[in-house]
Amino acid sequence: MLKTEGLSKVFVTGFARRKVAALQDLSMKVEKGEVFGFLGPNGAGKTTTIKILMGLIYPTSGKAWIMDRELGDVRVKRSVGFLPEQPYFYDYLTAREFMDFYGRLFGLGKAERNERSARLLEHVGLSHAGDLQLRKFSKGMLQRIGIAQALINDPELVILDEPMSGLDPIGRKEVRDIMLGLKERGKTIFFSTHILPDVEVICDRVGILVKGRLRATGTVGELMSQMKTSSMEMTVEGLDQSAVAELQGLSSNVMERGRQVVAFFDDQDKARRARRLVYERGGDVVSLIPHRGSLEDIFVEEVRKERGR
C-alpha cells in the first residue's frame, strides 16, 4: 500500500545555510488493511515523512510509492485521505460549505457531495454545526471536521498526522473509535503520534523514528519481546526505617506512601530477596505486581540509543 526506499530530506536553513538532516534513509512498508503507527519524539521527522508522501515537500533523495504509484502522480490522491497536524482550514467557511468544497476537488457530483457530507458530519458528531463558520469551532471540533474531510472521497489509505493532538480523553476515544471503524472496513491507516497508550490499542505494527532514522519496526508484540527488562512492583507495610534502607539497596526505586512503601525491582531474584527481608523484619507484603515492558519503555530506550550515537 505504501512503501519508501532510502527516503532522505535535508533542510537548508538560515543565512548561514546550515544543513539539517530531517530524514535519513527511511525504508519501510505498510501493508493493505493494517494500521501502522509511526512513533517518535518531537522533531523526529514524522511530519516531514508525511509531507513528502503527500507531495507538500520534495525529498532530497530516495523514492516512495503509494499504491504502487510513484510520488507525484496526482491520480493516486483520489484514494488517499489526509489530515495534517494542527490543521488550519478556511475559517470563513461553514461546515457544510467546507465539506462541499473538498467534495468538489474530488470531482464529486452535487448529489453525492451532499450525501457524503451529511453522512460524514453525522459520523464525526458535527451535524449540529452544519451552518456554523469554522472560525467558531473548538479545537476538538476542528479535529473532527478534519477527519471528515479526509474521508470525503472514501479513501483506501488514510494518512493522519497526530490525529489525537490537543484532544481531551473523550475526543481521543472518539478518534480512536473512528479509526477502529475504518480498520474494520478494510482501510489502511498510517498515522503518526507520540501518545503511546492509544498505539498499543489500535496498531497492528509500529515504526519508531528518532532524529530522522527508523530505529525499529514490527508488531507491538515483537518489539516488546525484544525488551529484556521487566519489573516487579511490591507494596509493603510495617517496616522500620532501617529495613526500608536495606530495601532501597535491593530495589531500583522506592517510594513512601503514608504507612506503605512501594518498591520496584529489576529482576525476580532481587524481588525474592526483598520478600524474605520483609518477612524477617516483621513487615507485610500487601501486593506484588509484575510489569511487562511497555511501549513507552521501548520508545525511551530507542531514543536513548539514538542520542548515545
Partner 1 sequence: MKVYAIAVNTFKEVIRDKIFYTLVFFAVLLVGASVAMSSLSVGDRLKIIEDLALGSMNIFGVIIAIFVGIGLVDKEIQKKTVYTIVSKPINRYEFLLGKYLGLCLTLAVYILVMTAVFMAVLFLYTGSIHLWFMNAVLLTYMELIVITATALLFSTFSTPTLSAAYTMAVFVIGHLTSDLKGLGDKTGSMIKKVVLEFLYYFLPNLDNFNIRSEAVHGVAVSWGYIAFAVSYGLLYVAILIAASVIIFQNRDFK
Q: Which of residues 150-169 bind partner 1 (CB under 8 A)?
A: 150
Q: Which of residues 49-68 bind partner 1 (CB under 8 A)?
A: 51, 54-58
Residues forming a β-bridge with 214 = 209
- Residue 80 sits in the site that holds partner 1 (CB under 8 A): yes
Minimum distance from residue 58 beta carbon to partner 1 (Å): 6
Minimum distance from residue 284 beta carbon to partner 1 (Å): 58
Total residues binding partner 1 (CB under 8 A): 33
Q: Any residues with CB less than 8 A from the CB of 241 and at least 6 apart, and which?
A: none
**Whether 217 contacts 208, CB under 8 Å:** yes
Q: Which is nearer to partner 1, 57 or 244 (CB)?
A: 57
> In angstroms, what CA-CA distances link 168 with 140, 143, 163?
8, 11, 12
**For partner 1, what does the binding mask look like between residues 87 and 126, x meaning CB under 8 A?**
xxxx-xx---x---xx-xxxx-------------------
- Residue 77 sits in the site that holds partner 1 (CB under 8 A): yes
Which range in 117-125, 142-150, 202-210, 220-228 contacts partner 1 by CB under 8 A? 142-150
69's grid cell:
504509484
DSSP H or E stretch at residue 39: strand 35-39
CA atoms in the 13 A half-sphere facing the CB of 85: 15
Q: Grid cell 527516503 — which residue?
A: 7
Strand-pair category, 188-193 with 157-161: parallel
Residues forming a β-bridge with 218 = 206
Which range in 70-78, 203-211, 253-261, 294-302 contacts partner 1 by CB under 8 A? 70-78
Q: Which is nearer to partner 1, 103 or 171 (CB)?
A: 103
- The order of strands in the sheet holding 284-291 is 253-257, 260-265, 231-237, 284-291
> In angstroms, what CA-CA distances link 159 with 190, 191, 247?
5, 6, 49
- Residue 228 sits in the site that holds partner 1 (CB under 8 A): no
Minimum distance from residue 195 beta carbon to partner 1 (Å): 21
- Binding residue for partner 1 (CB under 8 A) from 15, 16, 17, 75? 75
Please give the residue ranges that form the binding site for partner 1 (CB under 8 A).
11, 51, 54-58, 74-78, 80, 82-84, 86-90, 92-93, 97, 101-102, 104-107, 146, 149-150
